């Protein structure tokens, strides 16, 4: 019984260290035509991330998302492109590497309202 309580507390403590990203985030990124703004609306279920991204091409679904501590990874399925995002979350800010085809760009996202 005692071991079960210790394992439960350890599991709860580990989940408490995962970043809380649910909700709206706004991001800026330098693109070929200048600065772009993208809005992410993240949903989190355990360590799985889903939601939508709204950018210059309209809304696109977020898929293949994972959250492991402060490490985040997700894909935006924009039309026929898979745009891979990988990075870290630190409080109300995300630093992401964005892979579009053979190009990699930096992106900073901030929690809306922060």
- Model confidence pLDDT, tens digit, residues 59-108: 999 999 999 999 999 999 988 889 999 999 999 999 999 998 899 999 99
- What is the C-alpha to C-alpha distance for residues 68 and 19, in angstroms, rounded to an integer? 8
- Model confidence pLDDT, tens digit, residues 21-72: 999 999 988 777 788 899 999 999 888 999 999 988 899 999 999 999 999 9
Structure tokens at 46: 């355990």
> For residues 111 and 24, is the Cβ–Cβ distance under 8 A?
yes
Model pLDDT, residue 110: 96
- Cα dihedral 4, 16, 53, 59, rounded to 10, equals 50
- The CA angle 88-68-41, to the nearest 5 degrees, is 65
3-state secondary structure 27-58: EEEEECCEEEEEEEEEEEECCEEEEEEEECCE
């Amino acid at each position: 019984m005692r071991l079960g309580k210790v394992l439960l507390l350890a599991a709860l403590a580990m989940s408490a260290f995962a970043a809380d990203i649910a909700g709206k985030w706004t991001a800026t990124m330098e693109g070929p035509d200048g600065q772009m703004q993208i809005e992410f609306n993240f949903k989190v279920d355990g360590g799985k991330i889903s939601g939508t991204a709204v950018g210059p091409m309209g809304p696109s679904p977020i898929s293949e998302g994972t959250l492991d501590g402060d490490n985040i990874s997700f894909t935006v399925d924009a039309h026929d492109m898979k745009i891979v995002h990988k990075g870290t979350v630190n409080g109300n800010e995300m630093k992401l590497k964005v892979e579009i085809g053979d190009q990699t760009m930096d992106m900073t996202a901030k929690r809306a309202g922060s």
